[in-house]
Structure 1
Amino acid sequence: MTNAAILTVGNPVADVIFGFDENLLGSVLRSDLLQQYRPERLENVDPAFVIDESGMATPIDHGNVCVNFDRGAFLASGTPIPSTFEELVDPSVKNDFVVEDPSTSTPGLAFMLATIAKFGGGDDATDGAAWLNYWKQLKANGLSVVDSWETAYYANFSGGSGKGDRPLVVSYASSPPAEVSDTSLPVDQSPTGVVTQTCYRQTEFAGILRGASQPQAAAAFIEFMLGGSFQADVPGQMYVYPVVTSTPLPDTFAKYTAPVDAPLALPYSDVAANRERWISQWSALFR
């Protein structure tokens, strides 16, 4: 989506772009894709998500990419559920973890960025960078890397909808309620859970494309996306959180999600400046 918009910059095939996150925000702004627009309803948005001071990109929803675990598998084995990054490299979970390739997957990229935010070394271009040393430990502990979230979650993960044999996967903080969509069922907890200390913030944005043929209609659509009906529909339809603070959450979110109080994050400008190098460093280890 973003790449297609870059190829048609200034002469877009659409008026609005939606779905790019802060990991692509720097590239979007640098490519001069958007025209400035500050929605009236932006005043209702949690200020924590209004990170583009230029007024080009409007936050619409947010969530967190986190390690998810299969409750049943850990209960059956008696192995303690990991609660930290460090415990993911413990021999007790050898060959248990599957992640997505950061060069082909958005959650895979977010998890790589989480390790950089956690362990540091993002300014180190060598193979001895602190964050890369952590990945070396993951690899030695039997880490599996696949190309997409769908493959990781549905084909390799053993929990919930997964059909695989690995009880740890990189997914979303909102994946557990997605596994229990009907709150009328007598279920005390989701079959999957979240390692909250591994979570990395993800905010999705919308913007009016520069050269839009209907800029007023595009502005009205962005206002609609910040309106009560759209924001209230975000959790149930997209399994992410609304950015408007007064929006009520469905029962599944209240019951089956673990609170993520302090997700990891990196400045979007740092990600834009270093993302390709970080992916190259990671790829040198796993190719």
Structure 2
Amino acid sequence: MELTLVTHDSTDFGEGTLERFTEETGIEVTLHAAGDAGQLVNQLVLTKENPLGDVVFGIDNTFASRAVNAGVLADHVAAGAPAEYLLPAGMGGEQLTPITSGDVCVNVDREWFAEAGLAEPTTLDDLVDPAYADLFVTSAANTSSPGLAFLLATIAAKGESGWQDYWSALVDNGAKVVAGWSDAYYVDFSGPSSEGDRPIVLSYASSPPFEVTEEVSAAGGPAPTAALLDTCFRQTEFAGVLAGTEHEAEAQQLVDFLASTEAQEQIAPAMFVFPVDPEAQLPEEWAAYAEVATDPFTIDPAEIDANRERWIEEWAAIALP
């Protein structure tokens, strides 16, 4: 038999991971990409009467309650899922299994700044400094989970009374808003693996190891990009069984497999995020180049649920032409 696993466009399970699930169970898995994470959730909601597949991966803590409230998920959480990553009851705690976690942070192209003779920014406030005009690209809060995470970081930092003024200043300073993370990182960012000319991008704290070549690693040199750890919002990505699947037992098996130590050891480095399983091992170079924010911005899931749509509408009025 075959399951359809619905994901966002940036999903990478690592070489051979899903094939191992097939070897163990005899169940084939077909991937269906449905845009960035925000678009993914929107598609699941719009198609809930005729689901796009059997299992979803890529719903995160910023969009989870939208999917839960729309009834697109069936109850199932993998046994042994770490409690610190589970969502509260009624907001995904019964339907979503945590798989990976990462800090969404502003990243900089260190080589660009060195060549330009300009100090690298370090804080959210630096992004509205005229010295950094027209240098920042971010993904949109209405279509991208990293984009929404960044919006939430600014709300946490500036409060209800200040975040809109901050975004107005950010837009006035030439910030570019694109649909998704891939567009921002690979098209507009100036980093080594990218094609653009903007040296400041919204990405992850774990992105710099991706830019480290074997030559840099062998020489013990620094990564050519860096994450600004004072700008981060912590994001967790989940897997869940889609309501209406005709293969619920098999779908639960796939969720359980994605939550396994074996799978997380492949998925996390492929996507340059961290596994939630404390037993999962990561490549050695991560110890040298991957950092975790010590004090990331956070907002209570209940507050996100109560205000997300309003915040996105208010943000769009400022940030989208």
TM-score normalised according to structure 1 size: 0.88
Are 2:321 and 1:285 equivalent residues in the alignment?
no
Instruction: Map 1:133-148 to 2 at 5 A.
Output: 133-148=165-180
Correspondence for 1:218: 251
Deviates more, 1:104-113 or 1:187-196: 104-113
CA distance in 1, matches of 2:177, 2:43: 27
RMSD of aligned Cα (Å) = 2.0
The higher relative CO (CA closer than 8 Å, separation ≥ 6) is in 1
Matches within 5 A, 1:1-287: 1-9=40-48, 12-42=51-81, 45=82, 47-53=83-89, 54-121=93-160, 129-180=161-212, 182=214, 185-186=218-219, 188-286=221-319, 287=321
Q: Partner amino acid for 1:177? A: P
TM-fit CA distance, 1:169: 0.9
Matched to 1:150, the amino acid is S
Q: How many angstroms does 1:258 deviate by? A: 2.3
Q: Conserved in 1, the CA contact under 8 Å of 2:269 and 2:283? A: yes
Q: Distance in 2 between matches of 1:241 and 1:262?
A: 16
* Distance (Å, rounded) in 2 between the aligned partners of 1:26 and 1:257: 30
Confirm or deny: 8 A CA contact 1:11 1:212 kept in the other structure.
no
Which is further off, 8-17 or 85-94?
A: 8-17
Task: Work out the number of aligned pairs and report it.
Answer: 277
Structure 1 position 10, deviation (Å): 5.8
**Unmatched segments (≥5 aa) in structure 1:** 122-128
Separation of aligned partners in 2, 1:151 and 1:17: 22
**Superposed displacement of residue 33, structure 1:** 1.8
The letter of the residue matching 2:51 is P
Closer, same or farther: CA 11–166 of 1 in aligned 2, 3 Å: closer
Q: Is the 8 A contact 2:63 2:145 kept in 1?
A: no
Structure 2 distance, partners of 1:150, 1:25, is 21
Gaps of 5+ in 2: 1-39
Letter in 1 for 2:173: N
Aligned position for 1:126: none
